[in-house]
Amino acid sequence: MNLVRKVSRSAARKVFITGGGSGIGLAVANAFAAASHEVIVAGRNTGKLEASGHRFVTIDVTDEASIAGALNTAGPIDVFVANAGAAATAPALKTKREIWDRMIAVNLTSVYLCAQAALPQMTERGWGRFIAIASTASLKGYAYAGAYSAAKHGALGWIRTLAVELAKTGVTANAICPGFTDTPLVDNALAATTEKTGRSRENALAEFVKDNPMGRLVQTDEVAAAALWLASDAAASVNGQAIAIDGGETTS
């Protein structure tokens, strides 16, 4: 008996998004909801999750039991977007172990744990999408962001391994790699830069986007559109990819 679930092109998916209360995660949630999919956002900040207007569960993506509990509450998932992450800066040789461990836990181990929890149910049903919101830091090094870049490189390696191993199951694994994006995280980084250096926000922003040939921040809805496409049947053969949304930064 063929137990593989047949999913029509118009079928609504159940989509689970970590870090879904703000920034890229919220934009992804809004895009899927606008396309009539069932959306569940997850994160640690209950206030932001409630304000999103979507169904939500609280989660600590560095804790295996927390992830399992959140997925048990959510029920079977068709599309998992591993978006939760954090960034910290320090010169490479002055990067303290606490920063290193935190960046690895939030940006790499979390993707490993989420995949371990979410993918078995997808492979059992014969259809699924696992999407990691990685970074251009998965594709190149950035000064003063060594721990973050190492974690994001690792996340991309994990995604590519999943893609190869799951290729015949009906489940795909891909990474989206945005450049500097107009999010609260970047706003906070800009504020920290202006406070430390006394530079204007405009001057600091120019430094952030100098490597982007378009000379601007990526918009969250541009990242969300890529996630929506990866979850579609049109992207069924897209697997193990690192889709850079960066204005050409990583190719220039």
Domain ranges within the chain, ordered by starting residue? 14-179+219-245, 183-217
Return the biggest CA–CA distance within the chain. Answer: 68
Interval 26-84: pLDDT, tens: 999 999 999 999 999 999 999 999 999 999 999 999 999 999 999 999 999 999 999 99
Nearest alpha carbon to residue 145 among 113, 193, 110, 112: 193
Per the residue annotation, which of 112, 142, 144, 148 is the catalytic one?
148
- In the structure encoding, which two tokens stand for residue 174, read together? 């891909």
How much is the pTM? 0.93
Let me know if 148 is a catalytic residue.
yes
- At 69-127, the pLDDT tens digits run 999 999 999 999 999 999 999 999 999 999 999 999 999 999 999 999 999 999 999 99
Q: Using CA atoms, how far apart are residues 104 and 42, in angstroms rounded to an integer? A: 20
Q: What is the mean pLDDT of the chain?
A: 94
Give me the architecture of the 14-179+219-245 domain, per CATH.
3-Layer(aba) Sandwich (3.40)
Q: What per-residue string of b and e applies to 116-134 under the rule 16 or more CB within 10 Å gives b?
A: ebbbebbeebebbbbbbbb
**Three-point CA angle 165, 171, 175, nearest 5°:** 80
Among left, alpha and beta (phi > 0; psi -120 to 50; other), residue 5 is beta
